[in-house]
A and B are shown apart, each in its own frame.
Chain A
Amino acid sequence: DTAVSQTPKYLVTQMGNDKSIKCEQNLGHDTMYWYKQDSKKFLKIMFSYNNKELIINETVPNRFSPKSPDKAHLNLHINSLELGDSAVYFCASSSVEEGAQYFGPGTRLTVT
């Protein structure tokens, strides 16, 4: 199936831990994104990569570090997790020509 996939789907961890979320797309897109959706469903962009290069870096704590090993993968590493990091994190991808973004199923992160 052609899609954007994320792992894990659920992540429960304690404050202070370090965790990673992985994202892969097989749509041949050149741009990938990370979004954060809070408990009120508000969706905000965090990062964007185009051909493995960082092009958007919103005001995100530097505990969050994205890594793009190739243009089909964009991983998100979070250090020293805090309670406020609890949210659903979505990966997405798009192509320049189309403009529409294709979203993964999300990773629900719960920090206790």
Chain B
Amino acid sequence: SQQGEEDPQALSIQEGENATMNCSYKTSINNLQWYRQNSGRGLVHLILIRSNEREKHSGRLRVTLDTSKKSSSLLITASRAADTASYFCATSNAGGTSYGKLTFGQGTILTVHP
């Protein structure tokens, strides 16, 4: 079954604005990752946050993780037209035989207008 649910499904903003995408999940996790997929391309890893971390930054990206609410958010600041893509959260479950398995959300389609 699907682990992650993303919200919103689509987001349209102007260049320079910030974009926030949310992800909720159901079971205990080892880590949560965010990926970007440009149209017709493979997924590109953006950032990984471990279950014992609450916030992580990478350039214009800021990810938060709230394990009590089983949710995460991805903030892209000062967006650019080149940020237009689909963004996916993916969870790696804690322990067991699911080593390395990522469960993806449905994704958020972000459109940044120049």
Q: Does A104 contact B (CB under 8 A)?
A: yes
> A38 to nearest B CB, angstroms?
11
The number of chain B residues touching the other chain, given as a range, is: 20 to 34
By DSSP majority rule, is chain B's interface helix, strand, loop, or mixed?
Answer: strand
Q: Does B31 contact A (CB under 8 A)?
A: yes
B43 contacts A56, C-beta separation under 8 Å: no
Chain B residues lying within 8 Å of A55, measured Cβ to Cβ, are 97, 99-100
Q: A43-B104, A56-B100 are in contact. Are A103 and B2 (CB under 8 A)?
A: no
Q: Please, how many angstroms separate the alpha-carbon atoms of A50 and B6 in the complex?
A: 29
Chain A residues lying within 8 Å of B92, measured Cβ to Cβ, are 99
Q: A40-B106, A42-B106 are in contact. Are A101 and B45 (CB under 8 A)?
A: yes
Contact mask B80-114 → A, CB, 8 Å, 1/0?
A: 00000010100010000111111110110000000
Contact mask A80-112 → B, CB, 8 Å, 1/0?
A: 000000000010101000011111111000000
Contact mask B1-37 → A, CB, 8 Å, 1/0?
A: 0100000000000000000000000000001010101
Nearest residue (CB) in B for A9 is B40
B42 contacts A48, C-beta separation under 8 Å: no
Nearest residue (CB) in B for A42 is B106
The B-contacting residues of A in range 40-55, CB under 8 angstroms, are 40-45, 48, 50, 55
Q: Report which B residues bind A (CB closer than 8 A).
A: 2, 31, 33, 35, 37, 40-45, 48, 86, 88, 92, 97-104, 106-107
Q: Report which A residues bind B (CB closer than 8 A).
A: 4, 31, 33, 40-45, 48, 50, 55-56, 90, 92, 94, 99-106
